[in-house]
């Protein structure tokens, strides 16, 4: 069977972007695009049976590296292709390559690379994480590159948005003024609060000026206290989109459960991998010239700090269901539909008119098996 023949697929279970279904077939056209049809509309053609769960691939809005390469180290279109290829092996078909706090020329080159890759399927924009963050909450970001906001950053973001490239920018509202947050938001960029010591009041003020998301909840943020709720409470009580790292190291599983239950509006918490070059690559790499080593599932720098994560979106979805008791549909939404909606790309969560190459299969235990193309 080949794509050019056109054919029908009957998945045992199908995730349609919002729920698991078993009453639909997928008609794959001669050019490889998918259309959902009812079982009764098979036209007498025997479909190919697909076991497990069929879905579109994952949407990851925070990817630092993969396949042995780091975007910051070599911000080129070739690096982006290598990172995307590494993550596609584990079911992620759409990523926001992430450039963290670094020298100005690194950010400039990263922006150029993303612009050159605008028509590369799977590279859906850029996540600029820093450099305008709180020094005390920099995490693994190099202190020497943390700096105050400057017009150059706005010009880079504006240039990307004029080319209709999605942009997420993580910043600290105590470092970037409300006027500048508003200006960034007006370009259509997603202003996400993170790596910050912001109080509840300051975080809410930033939201009133256009910020609309929070980056890796609980990490690089002060702890929530009974009389100092801080930015964590602002995030949990808001109706904003909030990312979280689900490897079990960045945030304890009991806190993950709490965060999932705490949101006042459903489908606003989403998974990011925060993945590094070790995904599909060797067990160590260099960041800012220093070694980062994978030790018992953790990526550790020379300061003993976590430096990104070693987990895939598929691995996080499985953890959320098996370790946290999250419903399969909800876990898949957190890895596909919610991030797709945040960047205003609901098409990334839909099977309708998607190419068959963007479909993945999970077994009944939610292990990522392979791309659908490897099965048919």
Supply the residues annotated as catalytic: 274
């695009």: which residue's tokens? Answer: 33
Q: Could you give the C-alpha distances from 367 to 59, 363, 364, in angstroms and in order?
A: 17, 5, 7
How would you classify the pairing of strands 92-100 and 34-38?
unpaired
d(CA 214, CA 200): 13
């549909």: which residue's tokens? Answer: 329
d(CA 316, CA 214): 19
CB 167 within 8 A of CB 153: no
E-strand ranges in the chain read 7-15, 20-21, 24-28, 34-38, 48-56, 58-63, 65-66, 69-70, 92-100, 126-129, 167-171, 190-193, 213-214, 241-245, 269-272, 284-287, 290-295, 298-300, 359-362, 368-371
Longest dimension (CA), the chain: 67
Q: What is the 3-state secondary structure (H, E, C) of 118-177?
A: CCCCCECCEEEECCCCCHHHCCCCCHHHCCCCCHHHHHHHHHHHHCCCCEEEEECCCCCC
């Amino acid at each position: 069977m080949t794509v050019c023949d056109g054919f029908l697929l009957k998945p045992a279970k199908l995730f349609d972007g919002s729920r698991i279904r078993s009453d639909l077939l997928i008609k794959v056209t001669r050019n490889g695009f998918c259309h959902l049809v009812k079982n009764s509309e098979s036209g007498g053609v025997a479909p190919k049976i697909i076991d497990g769960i069929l879905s579109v691939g994952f949407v990851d809005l925070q990817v630092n590296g993969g396949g042995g390469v780091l975007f910051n180290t070599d911000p080129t279109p070739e690096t982006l292709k290598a990172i995307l290829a590494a993550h596609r092996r584990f079911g992620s078909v759409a990523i926001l390559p992430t450039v963290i706090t670094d020298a100005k020329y690194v950010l400039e080159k990263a922006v150029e690379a993303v612009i050159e890759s605008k028509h590369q399927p799977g590279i859906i924009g850029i996540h600029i994480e820093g450099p305008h963050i709180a020094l005390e909450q920099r995490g693994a970001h190099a202190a020497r590159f943390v700096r105050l906001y400057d017009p150059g950053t706005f010009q880079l973001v504006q240039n990307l948005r004029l080319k209709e490239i999605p942009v997420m920018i993580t910043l600290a509202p105590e470092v970037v003024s409300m006027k500048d947050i508003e200006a960034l938001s007006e370009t259509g960029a997603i202003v996400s609060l993170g790596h910050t010591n912001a109080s509840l009041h300051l975080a809410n003020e930033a939201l009133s000026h256009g910020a609309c998301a929070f980056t890796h909840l609980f990490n690089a943020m002060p702890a929530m206290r009974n009389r100092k709720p801080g930015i964590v409470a602002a995030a949990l009580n808001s109706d904003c989109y909030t990312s979280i790292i689900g490897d079990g190291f960045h945030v304890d599983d009991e806190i993950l459960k709490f965060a999932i239950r705490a949101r006042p509006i459903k489908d606003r918490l989403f998974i990011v991998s925060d993945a590094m070059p070790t995904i599909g690559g060797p067990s160590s790499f260099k960041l800012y010239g220093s070694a980062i080593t994978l030790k018992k599932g953790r990526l550790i720098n020379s300061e003993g700090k976590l430096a990104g994560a070693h987990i895939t979106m598929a691995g996080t979805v499985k953890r959320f269901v098996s370790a946290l008791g999250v419903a399969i549909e909800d876990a898949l939404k957190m890895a596909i539909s919610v991030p797709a909606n945040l960047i205003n790309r609901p098409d990334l969560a839909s099977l309708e008119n998607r190419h068959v190459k963007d479909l993945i299969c999970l077994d009944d235990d939610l292990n990522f098996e392979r791309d659908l193309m490897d099965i048919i």
